[in-house]
Structure 1
Amino acid sequence: MTTKPTHRIGILGSGNIFGRYVTGLARYPELEIVRVADIDVARAEQAAAEHDIPAWGDDAELYADDSVDIVVNLTPPVHHARTITTALEAGKHVYVEKPLGTTVEEGRAVLEAAARSGRLLGSAPDTFLGSASQTLRKAVDGGLIGTPIGASAFISHSKAETWHPDPTFLFQQGGGPVMDMGPYYVAILVNALGPIRTITAASRIGAPHRTVTAPSRTVDSIEVTVPTHASAVLTFASGAIGTALMSFDIWDTDLPRMELYGTEGTLSLPNPNNFDGDVRLRRHGDAEWTVLEPAVELFGAVDTREQHQRGLGVRDLADAIEGGRHRATAGFAFHVLEALCAVEDASQQGRLIHLTSTCERPQPRFSA
C-alpha cells in the first residue's frame, strides 16, 4: 500500500469552528496540524494547548513558517480576501471557509492571486462532497427523475443567537442567511444541476435588533445591517429553475430542506449543512418514498456531532496537490459567491441579474 505524503497544516483563526476542523482533520493521518494562529495570540496559545498543537502565534508567524504548506483559513468573511492573498503570496496552498469573499470583486481578486502564486486555492463548503449530495448527483446523472425541471431550497433560522458567543458577523457584511447558509445549498444545486445563468430576488431585514442569549455570550445584542429574509429564483444554464427561501426570521417550519423535480419523479435531500443523511426518491406513480443507497462512504454517523465536523475539503485540496482531482475549487466557489451576491443585487436593483461566471460541475466521487 502506498503511503500518502504528509501535508503540514497551519490553521488561521481559532474561533467557534476551529474545533470542528481539528476533530475532522484528525481522521486523516496524512494531514498534520502543526500551528495555529490568531490575532489574539493568547487565544491561539490556549487552542494549541487544548488540542496538542506544537506551535502557535500570530498570522505573520504562520505565513513565515516554512514547514506549513497548507493554510486553513477560518477568519471571519470580511478578512478572507486579504488573508487568502497574503498566504498565497507566502507560498502556501490555501483552503478557506465560506464564502470565498464578501463581494464579487474580492472573489475575482483572490482568483487572480492564486493564479499568480502558482498555488492551489480551495474553498468551503465541502458538504457537496459528502454521501448525501453525491447520492443526489448520481441519481440525477442516472436519470432517476428524468429531465430535471426545477428545485426548491428552504433555509430557516440557525438560531445562532442562542448558541454562538458572538454571532455579530452573521448579521453584518459577509453574513446573513444568503452568505452564511446559502453557500451550502447553492453549491449542492450547482453540483447537481450545473451552473446558474440568471437570478432575480427580493429581500429585507426582519428584526433590526437581535438579543443574544447564548450562555457563553460575549455580546448581549446585535445591530442587523444585512437582509435576513430573501426569496430568489435561479435559472440554470440547463434550463432548470430553482427557488430558494433564505431566512434568519423563520424560527419554526415544516418545510423540507431541498427537493429536485424532474419529468419522472422527485428527489428529497437532508440538511445540506451536513455530509450525510437519507436521500429519498419518489418516481411518478410510486406509492411511497424509497431511500437510496449512499453513492460513497459516509463522512460520519448521521444525526450526531460528526456531521458538524469539517475537513473533507482540506483533504480534497491535499489530494489535488498530489495530482488528484480538485473538486472544491476556488472557481466553483466563485460561481457560488457570484450567485449569492446576485441575490442582494437583484433585490436592490429590482431586475434580473445575468451571472458573468460559469463553472464545470465537479467530477463526482463515485464511479460512473
Structure 2
Amino acid sequence: MTGIAFVGTGFVADYYMTTLANHPQLRLVGVFDRDAARLDAFSRYWKVPSYASLEEALADPAVSIVVNLTTPESHYTVNRAALSAGRHVYCEKPLAMTVEEASELADLAKARGLVLAGAPANGLSDAQALCARLLSEGAIGTPRLVYAEMEDGPVFKANWRAWRSRSGAAWPGVHEFEVGCTLEHAGYATSWLVSLFGPVAEVSAVSALTFPDKGPGTETLALGPDFSVGCLAFRSGVTARVTCGLAAPRDRSLTIIGDAGMIVVRDLWDNRSPIHVEAFGTRRPLIHRGLDWLEWKLGRKLPLRIYPGARARYPKAEALVTLPAFPSQIDFVRGIAAQAEAIERGEAPFFSGATARHLTEVVLALNSGWRNYRPLDL
C-alpha cells in the first residue's frame, strides 16, 4: 500500500476524496492546508489526520507521494519542497506558472530519481482508452484534424458564490477568474491530445479578457484571460484547434476527423463518455436522414444536436467506479494510482517528467496567446 498526503484541502480536494475509494492500494496518511479553518473542516468531514505544517507532512516517513492540490501560484514552491524532501509528487495542473520553473522541477525530479506527475486524470479515462483503441484499429483511417472544445458556459453569471464542496469549501471563483480558464481547463483537452497524437511541435494562440466585469467584488481585480483559441501542430502530422472559454454554452467535446471517417467524444469530463464513430461513405442512420429531411422541409435548423455515426461499445467495466456528480465525472485519483503502480514497477507513468512539463508548456502558451511558439524538445 502506498502512503499519500494531500497538501491543499480546498474545493478540488473533495473530488479526490470522492474517488479515493476506487483505489484501495492507496492510503491517505494525512492532509495539510495553510488555512487552519478549512483544514479543520476537511479533516473532520472526511475523518482524516491533519498535519500542523507543510514541513511535518514532508517529514512523515509514511508518505511516499505528495499530492499538491494548492493554488496554481503555489504549485512550484510546494513541488520543489516535496521533491527536495525526497518525496514523489503528483500535482494539479499546471506544474508551475512558467516554463523555466516547470523545467527546473522536471530536472530536479530526474536528478533525485523521483517521479513528478501531473493532472488531469481524465487522460487516463475509460473514454480515452476506447478512443485510442478505435484509432489504433483504423476506425477512421489516418487522423488529420481535431477540434477540442473546453467551454464551461457563463459561470460568472451564475450564483457561483453559493457553490460548496462536500466538506464545505467555497468554489474559488474570484481566484479562477484571476488565473484564467485556460490554465484551469485546457489540460483536460491537451492531455488527451498528447496521449493520442504525441508531442506538439508548434503552438499559435490568441487569448483575451473578453468579459472584464465578473460581478460585484471583481471590478478592481487583475483578471486573467477568459477566452483562448490555439492551433497545435503535432509532430505526427495532426493539426488541432483547442478553444477554452467562460461564455459560450457548455461544450467539452472532442472531434477527430480522419481520411476515412470521424470520432466524436461527447464530454472529456465523463469517464465513460458516449463516443460516436462515423465511417465516410456509409449509409447514415435513419434518424439522422429523417432529421435532415425535416430540416430541409421546414427550411430551418432544429434545436437538436445529433451526433454522427453509431455509438461505440465499451468493454464491460471490471468494477463499479465512484465518481463525482455531473459535470466532473472524472476519477481524479486514477493518476495517482497509475503513478504509484509505475513507481512500484520501477517505471515512469506517461503523464510524468518531461511529458508533464510539455503539457504545462503547451497550456502556458495557450493562456498567454503565444504565436508560432515551439515547445522544448520532448
TM-score (norm 1): 0.85
Pairing 1:275–2:271 present: yes
Q: Which of these residues, 138, 147, 151, is aligned with residue 152 of structure 1? A: 147
Write out aligned runs for 1:23-34 (5 A).
Answer: 23-34=18-29
Match of 2:246 in 1: 248
Q: Which amino acid aligns with 1:150?
A: L
Whether the 8 Å contact between 2:323 and 2:331 is mirrored in structure 1 is no
Measured in 2, the distance between the counterparts of 1:352 and 1:316 equals 34
Match of 1:166 in 2: 172
**TM-fit CA distance, 1:63:** 1.1
Match of 1:330 in 2: 353
How has the CA–CA distance of structure 1 residues 142 and 303 changed in structure 2, closer, same or farther, with 3 Å as cutoff? Answer: farther
Q: Which amino acid aligns with 1:267?
A: I
Match of 2:52 in 1: 57
Write out aligned runs for 1:172-251 (5 A).
Answer: 172=178, 175-211=179-215, 223-250=221-248
The alignment partner of 2:214 has SS state of strand
Match of 1:92 in 2: 87
The alignment partner of 2:274 has SS state of coil
Measured in 2, the distance between the counterparts of 1:23 and 1:40 equals 21
Match of 2:74 in 1: 79
How has the CA–CA distance of structure 1 residues 17 and 109 changed in structure 2, closer, same or farther, with 3 Å as cutoff? Answer: same
Q: Which amino acid aligns with 1:274?
A: D
The alignment partner of 1:281 has SS state of strand
**TM-fit CA distance, 1:256:** 6.6
Measured in 2, the distance between the counterparts of 1:87 and 1:24 equals 23
Which runs of 5 or more residues in structure 1 are unaligned?
A: 1-5, 213-218, 359-368
Q: More deviation in 124-133 or 46-55? A: 46-55
The alignment partner of 1:354 has SS state of coil
Whether the 8 Å contact between 1:153 and 1:259 is mirrored in structure 2 is yes
Measured in 2, the distance between the counterparts of 1:205 and 1:299 equals 41
The alignment partner of 1:336 has SS state of helix
The alignment partner of 1:61 has SS state of helix
**TM-fit CA distance, 1:222:** 7.3
Which runs of 5 or more residues in structure 2 are unaligned?
A: 164-169, 286-308
Pairing 1:112–2:118 present: no
**TM-fit CA distance, 1:158:** 5.2
How has the CA–CA distance of structure 1 residues 145 and 299 changed in structure 2, closer, same or farther, with 3 Å as cutoff? Answer: farther
Measured in 2, the distance between the counterparts of 1:336 and 1:273 equals 18
The alignment partner of 1:314 has SS state of helix
Whether the 8 Å contact between 1:157 and 1:248 is mirrored in structure 2 is yes
Q: Which amino acid aligns with 1:169?
A: H
The alignment partner of 1:261 has SS state of strand
The alignment partner of 2:83 has SS state of helix
The alignment partner of 1:136 has SS state of helix
**TM-fit CA distance, 1:270:** 2.5
How has the CA–CA distance of structure 1 residues 8 and 301 changed in structure 2, closer, same or farther, with 3 Å as cutoff? Answer: closer
Measured in 1, the distance between the counterparts of 2:246 and 2:88 equals 34
The alignment partner of 1:145 has SS state of coil
**TM-fit CA distance, 1:56:** 3.0
* Identical aligned residues as a percent: 25
The alignment partner of 1:210 has SS state of coil
Whether the 8 Å contact between 1:48 and 1:56 is mirrored in structure 2 is no
Larger Rg: 2
The alignment partner of 1:315 has SS state of helix
Measured in 2, the distance between the counterparts of 1:101 and 1:296 equals 38
Q: More deviation in 230-239 or 271-280? A: 271-280
Match of 2:377 in 1: 357
The alignment partner of 1:199 has SS state of strand
**TM-fit CA distance, 1:96:** 0.8
RMSD: 2.3
Measured in 1, the distance between the counterparts of 2:68 and 2:218 equals 27
The number of equivalent residue pairs is: 340
Whether the 8 Å contact between 2:21 and 2:322 is mirrored in structure 1 is no
Deviations 1:297-329 (A, max 9, x none): 487478945714510001011101111561221
After the TM superposition, which parts of structure 1 deviate over 3 Å for at least 4 consecutive aligned residues? 158-161, 219-222, 295-306
How has the CA–CA distance of structure 1 residues 158 and 85 changed in structure 2, closer, same or farther, with 3 Å as cutoff? Answer: farther
**TM-fit CA distance, 1:296:** 7.8
Match of 1:123 in 2: 118
Q: Which amino acid aligns with 2:254?
A: M
Deviations 1:227-281 (A, max 9, x none): 211121111111111112211122x26x671100000000001221232211110
Measured in 2, the distance between the counterparts of 1:244 and 1:322 equals 35
**TM-fit CA distance, 1:343:** 2.4
Whether the 8 Å contact between 1:234 and 1:242 is mirrored in structure 2 is yes
How has the CA–CA distance of structure 1 residues 302 and 74 changed in structure 2, closer, same or farther, with 3 Å as cutoff? Answer: closer
Measured in 2, the distance between the counterparts of 1:69 and 1:355 equals 31
Q: Which amino acid aligns with 2:82?
A: A
How has the CA–CA distance of structure 1 residues 299 and 166 changed in structure 2, closer, same or farther, with 3 Å as cutoff? Answer: same
